[in-house]
Amino acid sequence: MKIILASGSPRRKELLTMMGLNFETKTSQKEEKLDPQLSIKEQCKQLAYQKARDVLDQIPEKEDCFIIGSDTMVVKAETIYGKPKSKEDAFSMINQLQGASHEVYTSLCVIVRKQGKEKQYITLDTTKVHLKEMSNQEIEMWLAKKEWKDKAGAYAIQGFFSVFISKIEGNFYSVMGLPIHQLYEIMKQEKLM
């Protein structure tokens, strides 16, 4: 069965490779739209589903496949910190997140199509991340590394930014971009592991 990652994220590719999977990637072209009627957690799950569904719709109907969609949201006090639009935006995000804790929600949607039948799995993993207090100079030093680009909350847990993380409560790999422990369980159920 063809395994397809519905994402162009280098981090998600790295995690699937780490799992030893033979997979291909297809990026969803669907515009990500948040539904304010839903809770933040439900919005996160909905985005993962939209990505997986969009990629599934690009695959010929007779082809068996295992599509993996995911989304990551950094949330503090009901505010979603998405991907920064500029260096100033990134500075503002890190300044608001530093010296406190926040949640990282990572959703997983797997759509399995086998012999014309579809099955869906949708999960969400929550991790609490505690950041040290950071001076403006430290934030500027971080931004100068340019690792903040294309990252929810303007940081990556696996990069240099890890020096500012005092503790995490939950799964490291979920914060990195994919709850691989949940994916593994789904793959076991589908007899792919």
- Determine the topology of domain 2-189 in CATH: Maf protein (3.90.950)
Query: How many residues are recorded in the chain?
Result: 193
Q: Tokens in use for 75?
A: 């949330």
Select the more confidently predicted residue: 34 or 180: 180
How far is the C-alpha of 27 from the C-alpha of 17, rounded, in Å?
17
Percentage of the residues of the chain whose pLDDT score is greater than 70: 100
**What is the rounded average pLDDT of the residues 109-123?**
96
pLDDT for 30 beyond 90: no
Q: Which are the catalytic amino acids?
A: 71
pLDDT at res. 50: 95
Percentage of the residues of the chain whose pLDDT score is greater than 90: 92
Q: DSSP state, 29?
A: -
Domain ranges for the chain, please list them.
2-189
pLDDT at res. 48: 96
Can you give the pTM of this predicted structure? 0.94
**What is the rounded average pLDDT of the residues 103-129?**
97
